[in-house]
Structure 1
Amino acid sequence: MDRMPSRLRRHLAALRALLVLTVITGVIYPLVATGVAQALLNDRADGSLIEKDGEIVGSALIGQSFTDAGGGPIRKYFQSRPSAAGDGYDPTATAASNLGPEDVIDTPDRTSLLTQVCARSKAVGELEGVSGARPYCTPDGVGAVLKVFPDRAVSVNQACPAAPFVPEYQGLKVECAEPGRDYAAGRTVPVRGGAGRPAVPADAVTASGSGLDPHISIAYAELQAPRVARERGLARDRVEAMIEEHTTGRALGFMGEPVVSVLALNLALDRG
């Protein structure tokens, strides 16, 4: 070894360090971490899986949709918030939509965030029997946005022959949008309208940052309670009591807002 070239000695030392660190960080540490997790965290270490009749039906950490084959809501179940993860609640495609508050104009190949929110609010309102109106939305569920030119204004999210949500804007006649026409030169003007505080909560019309949030707000759960009670033939106060039973408080007592686990609540309803 003493006669071994210094360059070779350095390579052998590096190789030994690589092997030792590989064993420590790639074998020993994962085994210890897994063992401690299994011993102390029990079911949470395996993904917080939830079973029904001996079958795994989901995870307490990942939301899921309660819809029929056509994508419509199953009326006897509480509905989750929207999801931008893949086709919805896909753990392999967890993500937000990355659309922001300035995304207000629809294009032929993509619906704007504003119109998505407006359409969801309208649909939830119809499902729950309340007004789906909200600021910056038209009555037909698209973004209330004008492109204003010197001689006219165009409701760019309402394709002809739709009737514009307002007949005129600051003395200019408002027209519907002609499909395929370029209105980029106009000034973009979102119109707030006369809608007050929306009856449909924000989490009913927006996806979470991960797209996998398994919870909804208490407000959204309470909005759905009359429908679920009616569909299941239950007293409304019984359903509301079950909402309270499946509500989680603020983290550490002060972080975030109380939330309701949709899957746990729906399974409790199925158990009666």
Structure 2
Amino acid sequence: MNLFSRMPSWVGHHVAAIRVVIVLTLVLGLAYPLAMTALAQVPGLHDNAQGRRTLIGQSFLDKKGNPIPSYFQTRPSNAGSGYDASASAAGNLGPESTVDVLPVKGQPDSGKQSLLTQVCARSKAVGELEHVDGSRPYCTADGVGAVLGVFRDGGTTGRATRVVSLDQACPAKPFLAAYEGVTVECAKPGTDYGEAVVTPVRGSAPAHPKVPADAVTASGSGLDPQISPAYAELQTPRIARERGISEAAVRDLVEQHTSGRGLGVLGEPAVNVVELNAALDHIHPVPAKGA
């Protein structure tokens, strides 16, 4: 008879628990970290694993909230007022978020933009900044969702009896004059259009907009410092013009701050805007006014 067989059962249970703690400590506290450290030395992962000086994005806006023309702009951020590390968050709006809550006069905080209108407004603003076509499918020319509320005599079916442009507050001119033979009205804030059939209208915008998707949608964390190479390319002419350098020089810096896919297959290439702007200031500072 061995020693453990003569021990009370509660002692045996404690000994077994101690053994489990020791094994888990060795595996999870020693073996696993060492294995992850070794894996992090694989080419393609090494730089990120060692940590980076710049961890999160930041806005490059003036005091009025307008883009500073001499800097590459980041993607939108839902983290607090923008890139707030203490308020990392997504917008939590999905593809069905197409109808705005229009603000009532005198109560500006009573309104809420749909995801569609946010995307439309951002695309219009980026198009104006970069001097390109900022139009997108299902967006009006004035940068809101092209969404109609269609009242029908059969409820959800039948003849249209009234049509409202749900995201265009009066006295705005509706993006369509008529729909199914019915004159389109602007929307009156505070009015309940719940009985209308929500009908997005695609419009004539190109299937592949000039403004990339990451320029009009926020990341899940709201803190990412990267943009797509396509968005960087869109901004390149402006940066070259504002800093008095060639577009080739700007593209060279963009390439230097573009990371490839992890292990060659994971994710997409991305440009670190914060590091890129820092490099621009160091190598190609903005010319002094009058110089």
Indicate the TM-score class for this superposition, using the shorter chain for normalisation.
Answer: 0.7 to 0.9
TM-score (norm 1): 0.82
Which segment drifts farther, 236-245 or 222-231? Answer: 236-245
Letter in 1 for 2:175: F
Q: 1:44 to 1:260 in 2, by over 3 A?
A: closer
Q: Take 1:241 and 1:30, find their aligned partners in 2: how far apart are those partners?
A: 40
* Candidates 37, 51, 67, aligned match of 1:47: 51
The answer to whether the 8 Å contact 1:37/1:45 transfers is: no
Question: Which runs of no fewer than 5 residues in structure 2 stay unpaired?
Answer: 102-109, 153-160, 284-291
1:121 aligns with 2:131: no
Q: Take 2:65 and 2:19, find their aligned partners in 1: how far apart are those partners?
A: 55
Q: Secondary structure at the match of 2:132?
A: coil
* Candidates 129, 133, 136, aligned match of 2:135: 133
- Mapping for residues 91-130 of structure 1, pairs under 5 Å: 91-107=85-101, 108-130=110-132
* Candidates 244, 269, 280, aligned match of 1:269: 280
* Candidates 202, 217, 221, aligned match of 1:210: 221
Which segment drifts farther, 139-148 or 91-100? Answer: 91-100
1:181 aligns with 2:191: yes
Percent identity over the alignment is 56
Q: Take 1:86 and 1:155, find their aligned partners in 2: how far apart are those partners?
A: 31
Question: Which runs of no fewer than 5 residues in structure 1 stay unpaired?
Answer: 50-57
Q: 1:69 to 1:100 in 2, by over 3 A?
A: same
- Mapping for residues 1-272 of structure 1, pairs under 5 Å: 5-6=8-9, 8-14=10-16, 16-17=18-19, 20=22, 23-24=25-26, 28=30, 44-45=48-49, 47-49=51-53, 58-59=54-55, 62-107=56-101, 108-150=110-152, 151-196=161-206, 197-272=208-283
* Cα deviation code 1:108-134 (max 9, x no counterpart): 442111000001011111111222211
Q: Secondary structure at the match of 2:183?
A: strand
The answer to whether the 8 Å contact 1:83/1:207 transfers is: yes
Q: Superposition RMSD on alpha carbons, in Å?
A: 2.9
Offset, 1:83: 2.2
Which segment drifts farther, 151-160 or 39-48? Answer: 39-48
The answer to whether the 8 Å contact 1:215/1:261 transfers is: yes
Letter in 1 for 2:262: A
* Cα deviation code 1:52-80 (max 9, x no counterpart): xxxxxx22xx3222223333222111011
Q: Take 2:117 and 2:12, find their aligned partners in 1: how far apart are those partners?
A: 63
Letter in 2 for 1:200: V
Letter in 2 for 1:261: N
Letter in 1 for 2:52: S
Q: Secondary structure at the match of 2:174?
A: coil
Letter in 1 for 2:112: R
Q: Take 1:246 and 1:45, find their aligned partners in 2: how far apart are those partners?
A: 17
Letter in 2 for 1:162: A
Q: Take 1:187 and 1:35, find their aligned partners in 2: how far apart are those partners?
A: 56
Which segment drifts farther, 80-89 or 156-165? Answer: 80-89
Q: Take 1:45 and 1:202, find their aligned partners in 2: how far apart are those partners?
A: 28
Letter in 1 for 2:75: R
Q: 1:250 to 1:45 in 2, by over 3 A?
A: closer
* Cα deviation code 1:170-211 (max 9, x no counterpart): 101111111111101101100111112322111110122333
